[in-house]
């Protein structure tokens, strides 16, 4: 991945791999810009793929967790590729526009996804391609995002996941809110015009904000990143992806049996929670750090951030049995689960399904 031209802006400090700005000198102020104004975030490290071809939607429908065969022009969504056992392998954010399905995915995962899609083409009329070298993603976040887009002569799609084409190539896609309700919009731009498009948005009123600020609001919104907030055992039912990236009335895709079975029983083995840490250490725990209750390991940390209002918080996958008021530790820090992340209550139908399974296992089901 080549370094972004936005690293030449004043105060820019790169992320660890040197690809995009982590911050511009004041990460907490940049978070406030996203929460209260309009911040421009360089996310051009994300991989971008295109899938043109007459069979693209029915083909992607058959491969992923999402209902895609009727995805309308100018619409977007999220989707997952699962292993045969239902474990999450790829998370795709999609946009359907002008006869092409676009997907942006985690940095560094695009080649593996393209290779998988190539193997699944068979005789279908689809041509998946990795186009990260030609296209780049920016995000505009904050309650003033719409004003900035209007001042820049760009459209604001009316609802989350709606997509609108932009002059000169690319598109604008509205996303679900970040943080405590901040508007979020993704902009796909030609990579050769990344600096110019970013400058136009800055002139329209956007404040440059680094990836650290974006990550803080993402964590607050409980939106996971694959490979950071998940591990090789993660199933969609343990995360918010079950509502954003899975169509529960759809069958016949790889891993679907696991998703349906766990959903019907109503109790996945783990759940994604927001964890508050004491913040006494200058060093933040790394993704994968164990979460413990006494001497017992009960989960793993994902992304940990310093939030401008919440302090040190992180996403964690914890066992379903862990109570919300449990006294936890992670990386030497005391930790507590956010009270909003209590385990979901079972409805009557799921409780009945679970009772039936228990009865089968104990050979006491009524005859």
Looking at the fold, whether 39 and 52 belong to one and the same domain comes out as no
Domain match, 13 and 76 both: no
Enter the pTM of the model. 0.93
Query: Do 31 and 143 belong to one domain?
Result: yes
Considering the domain boundaries, does residue 323 fall inside one? Answer: yes
For 266-294, the pLDDT digits (tens) are: 889 999 999 999 999 999 999 999 999 99
Q: Does residue 252 lie within any of the structural domains?
A: no
Q: Which pLDDT score is estimated for 344? A: 72
Convert the chain into a string of H (helix), E (strand) and C (coil): CCCCHHHHCCCCEECCCCCCEEECCCHHHHHHHHHHCCEEEECCCCEEEEEECCCHHHHHHHHCCCCCCCCCCCEEEEEEEECCCCCEEEEEEEEEECCEEEEEECCCCHHHHHHHHHHCCCCCCCCCEECCCCEEEEEEECCCHHHHHHHCCCCCCCCCCEEEECCCCCEEEEEEEECCCEEEEEEEEEHHHHHHHHHHHHHCCCEEECHHHHHHHHHHCCCCCCCCCCCCCCCHHHCCHHHHCCCCCCCCCCCHHHHHHHHHHCCCCEEEEEEEECCCCCCCCCCCCEEEECCEEEEEEEEEEEECCCEEEEEEEEECCCCCCCCEEECCEEEEECHHHCCCCCCHHHHHHHHHHHHHHCCCCCC
CATH number at residue 83: 3.30.70.1400
| Residue 324 included in any domain | yes
User: 313 and 348 in one domain?
Assistant: yes
- Asked if residue 244 is part of any domain, the answer here is no
Q: What is the pLDDT of residues 196-238, one digit of tens each?
A: 999 999 999 999 999 999 999 999 999 999 999 999 999 999 9
Indicate whether 59 and 137 sit together in one domain. Answer: no
Q: What is the pLDDT of residue 343?
A: 84
**Do 325 and 280 share a structural domain?**
yes
| Same domain flag for 105 and 148 | no
Same domain, 14 and 56: no
Residue 242 belongs to a domain: no
Task: Give the domain CATH number at 355.
Answer: 2.40.30.110
Q: Are 41 and 52 in the same domain? A: no
For the chain, how many structural domains are there in total? 3
Residue 257 within any structural domain of the chain: no
Same domain, 209 and 270: no
- Indicate whether 28 pLDDT > 90: yes
Task: Give yes or no: residues 39 and 164 share one domain.
Answer: yes
Does 77 reside within a domain?
yes
Residue 10 sits in the same domain as residue 69: no
Say if 52 falls within a structural domain. Answer: yes
The 10s digit of each residue's pLDDT in 290-306 is: 999 999 999 999 999 99
Q: Residue 215 belongs to what domain range?
A: 5-46+133-220
Q: What is the pLDDT of residue 301?
A: 98
Q: For the chain, what is the mean pLDDT?
A: 94
Which of 105, 130, 155 is the endpoint of a domain? Answer: 130
Give the per-residue pLDDT at 151.
98
């Amino acid at each position: 991945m080549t370094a972004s031209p936005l690293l030449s802006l004043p105060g820019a400090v790169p992320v660890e791999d040197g690809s995009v700005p982590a911050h511009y000198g004041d990460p907490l102020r940049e978070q406030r810009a996203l929460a209260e104004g309009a911040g421009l975030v360089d996310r051009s490290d994300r991989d971008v793929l295109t899938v043109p071809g007459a069979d693209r939607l029915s083909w992607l429908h058959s491969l992923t967790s999402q209902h895609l065969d009727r995805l309308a022009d100018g619409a977007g969504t999220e989707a997952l590729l699962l292993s045969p056992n239902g474990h999450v392998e790829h998370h795709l954010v999609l946009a359907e526009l002008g006869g092409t399905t676009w997907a942006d995915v985690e940095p560094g995962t695009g080649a593996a996804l393209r290779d998988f899609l190539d193997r699944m083409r068979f005789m279908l009329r689809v041509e998946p391609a990795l186009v990260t070298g030609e296209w780049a993603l920016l995000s505009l976040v904050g309650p003033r995002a719409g004003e900035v887009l209007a001042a820049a002569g760009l459209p604001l799609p009316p609802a989350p996941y709606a997509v609108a084409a932009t002059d000169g190539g690319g598109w604008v896609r509205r996303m679900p809110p970040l943080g405590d309700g901040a508007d979020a919009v993704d902009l796909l731009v030609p990579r050769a015009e990344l600096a110019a498009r970013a400058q136009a948005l800055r002139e329209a009123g956007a404040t440059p904000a680094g990836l650290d600020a974006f990550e803080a609001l993402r964590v607050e919104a409980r939106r996971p990143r694959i490979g950071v907030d998940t591990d090789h055992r993660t199933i969609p039912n343990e995360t918010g992806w079950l509502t954003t990236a899975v169509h529960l009335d759809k069958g016949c895709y790889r891993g679907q049996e696991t998703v349906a079975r766990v959903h019907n029983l109503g109790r996945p083995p783990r759940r994604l929670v927001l964890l508050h840490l004491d913040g006494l250490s200058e060093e933040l725990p790394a993704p994968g750090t164990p979460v413990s209750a006494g001497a017992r390991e009960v989960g793993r940390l994902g992304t940990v951030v310093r939030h401008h209002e919440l302090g040190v918080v992180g996403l964690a996958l914890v066992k379903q049995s862990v109570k919300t008021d449990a006294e936890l530790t992670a990386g030497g820090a005391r930790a507590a689960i956010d009270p909003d992340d209590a385990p979901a209550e079972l409805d009557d139908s799921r409780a009945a399904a679970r009772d039936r399974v228990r009865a089968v296992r104990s050979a006491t089901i009524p005859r």
